[in-house]
Every structure is written in C-alpha cells, then in structure tokens.
Amino acid sequence: MDLNLDGNSLVLSLVIGCVGFVCFAYGKRQRRFPQMLAGVILSVYPYFVSNLIVMAAIAVAILALLGVAIRLGV
C-alpha cells in the first residue's frame, strides 16, 4: 500500500468520505440498510485507492448502485 500525500488525492478522499458519512448518518436515522452500506463503503475505500480517476469512478459507481437500489425500493 502506497501512502499518497498529494493535495488532490487528499481533497477528493475528504469529499468522498464526507458524502459517505452523510449517507451513513441518513441511513442510520431512517433505518435504511442500502444508505448505511454505501456510506460505510464510501468512507473506507479511499484509504486503499490512490489513483484519482479510479477513486472518483468507484464513488460514482457506488452512488449509481445506491440510486438503483432506491428506485427498486430496497
């Protein structure tokens, strides 16, 4: 695992982590499992991914899957 202290990487991981925290807090308050799961994943995975494009793509994919789960009524 490579520690990347690039400013762009830190800012992007902070933004993704904040979105993950909000998803988790909303899911916990509303007792919605998909939002809680997406929040935990969004908060944790930036620690393991250092490439900015891959980090952003994973976040978009997780949020898209959350949107699909919400539309399906899960």
What integer pLDDT is reported at residue 4 of this predicted model?
A: 63
What integer pLDDT is reported at residue 1 of this predicted model?
A: 54
Q: Mean pLDDT for each 10-residue chunk of the chain (74 residues)?
A: 74 94 96 95 92 94 96 88
Q: How far is CA 67 from CA 5, 22, 30, 37, 48, in A?
A: 31, 15, 16, 13, 24
What integer pLDDT is reported at residue 30 of this predicted model?
A: 94
What integer pLDDT is reported at residue 74 of this predicted model?
A: 80
Angle between helices 52-72 and 7-30 (to 10 degrees): 20
Helix (H, G, I), strand (E, B) or coil at 57: helix
Give the number of other Cβ atoms within 10 Å of residue 59's Cβ.
22
What integer pLDDT is reported at residue 39 of this predicted model?
A: 96
What integer pLDDT is reported at residue 50 of this predicted model?
A: 84
74 vs 69: CA distance, rounded Å: 5
- Sorted by where each begins, the domain ranges of the chain are 7-72
